[in-house]
Amino acid sequence: MNEFSKPIPVADADSATYWEGCREGRLLIQRCSECETLRFPPNRICAACHSDKVKWVEASGKGRVYSWIVVNHPVPREVYGDDVPYAVALIELEEGVRMVSNVIGCDPHAIAADMSVEVVFESGGEGVVLPKFQPMAG
């Protein structure tokens, strides 16, 4: 690992199942076992009813672009200089939860609000697999 490598997510007790799902090509979100509220990111306690009983469900992987930015000026340049321009987006899954990710597979300047996207999984290095989103085919 060099001094300027990209940060890699570190799984904790709450998110380990989520990251394992990504390695299997499955986008997992939590559903409260008491009140059925879906939630993301992974959390020990339901914000709606405070229950700690949870089950994992597989999301469809389909969603829409809720908001986004296009990064043109990489910081730090040593790490992200080869990636620009790239898009960081808030994706609203069709299940209703939102997650921060990247939109790939298109000109980042062509991204539009409500654009339909679907998940794809990419290696993030060191055994980590990251969910990213690409424009829906067709």
Stretch that binds Zn ion, among 1-9, 17-25, 30-38, 101-109 (CB under 5 A): 30-38
Of residues 32, 91, 99, 103, which one binds Zn ion by CB under 5 A? 32
- Kindly state the tokens that stand for 51: 């229950």
Pairing of strands 98-103, 116-125: unpaired
Closest to Zn ion by CB, 46 or 103: 46
Show the DSSP H helices in the chain as ranges.
16-23, 77-80
Of residues 35, 57, 69, 84, which one binds Zn ion by CB under 5 A? 35
Closest to Zn ion by CB, 14 or 34: 34
Residue 13, φ and ψ in degrees, nearest 5: -60, -35
CA distance 113 to 60: 20
Closest to Zn ion by CB, 22 or 32: 32
CA distance 15 to 103: 22
Is residue 8 part of the contact set for Zn ion (CB under 5 A)?
Answer: no
Which single residue is written with the structure tokens 């009983």? 53
Closest to Zn ion by CB, 35 or 136: 35
Is residue 34 part of the contact set for Zn ion (CB under 5 A)?
Answer: yes
Question: Interface with Zn ion by CB under 5 A: which residues?
Answer: 32, 34-35, 37, 46, 48-49, 51
